[in-house]
């Protein structure tokens, strides 16, 4: 069945697959289908050249397509994904880390290591030594989840 489908479409089946994958990449971009589409187009181009060769069976074509898909995906990642430039705002989405070093007054006392401070318009949970409400504190650390700050008395 696969032999019949491949022989009826000829080398154009790979070209059609390649263009369909490129259109999918345009509709839903993610830089993944692009590389697989390029691999299909390459197999299609090779098929146009050597379609009548005895060795050029559909199994060989699929194997070449899989190998070229992997090679083009790795080459694409190297080409497009190798730009790790430092951000000019490394704390942009880390609100808790932005608070480190700021001074605040305890809105609620710290009891059993837990309390609250108000920074800006936000009430933050804090941990630190037991202190009464109204004490000046400095933020010294932020939890990875940004849900709790660590404070010390000023």
Residues of the chain with pLDDT under 50: none
Q: Can you say how many angstroms the Cα of residue 26 is from the centroid of all Cα atoms in its chain?
A: 18
* Burial of 95 (C-beta count, 10 Å sphere; 0-12/13-18/19+): middle
- For 62-82, the pLDDT digits (tens) are 999 999 999 998 988 888 776
Q: Is the pTM of this model over 0.75?
A: no
Please tell me the distance from the alpha carbon of residue 113 to that of residue 92, in angstroms, as a whole number. Answer: 28
Question: How much of the chain exceeds pLDDT 90, in percent?
Answer: 56
């Amino acid at each position: 069945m696969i032999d019949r489908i491949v022989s009826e479409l000829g080398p154009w089946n790979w070209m059609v697959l390649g263009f369909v994958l490129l259109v999918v990449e345009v509709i839903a971009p993610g830089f993944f289908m692009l590389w697989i589409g390029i691999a299909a187009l390459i197999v299609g181009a090779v098929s146009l050249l050597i379609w009548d060769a005895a060795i050029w069976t559909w199994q060989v074509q699929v194997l070449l397509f899989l190998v070229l898909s992997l090679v083009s995906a790795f080459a694409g990642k190297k080409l497009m994904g190798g730009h790790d430039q430092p951000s000019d705002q490394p704390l942009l989405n880390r609100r808790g880390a932005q608070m480190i070093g700021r001074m605040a007054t305890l809105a609620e006392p710290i009891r059993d290591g837990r309390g609250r401070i108000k920074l800006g318009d936000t009430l933050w949970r804090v941990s630190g030594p037991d202190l009464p409400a109204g004490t000046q504190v400095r933020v010294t650390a932020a939890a990875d989840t940004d849900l709790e700050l660590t404070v010390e008395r000023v």
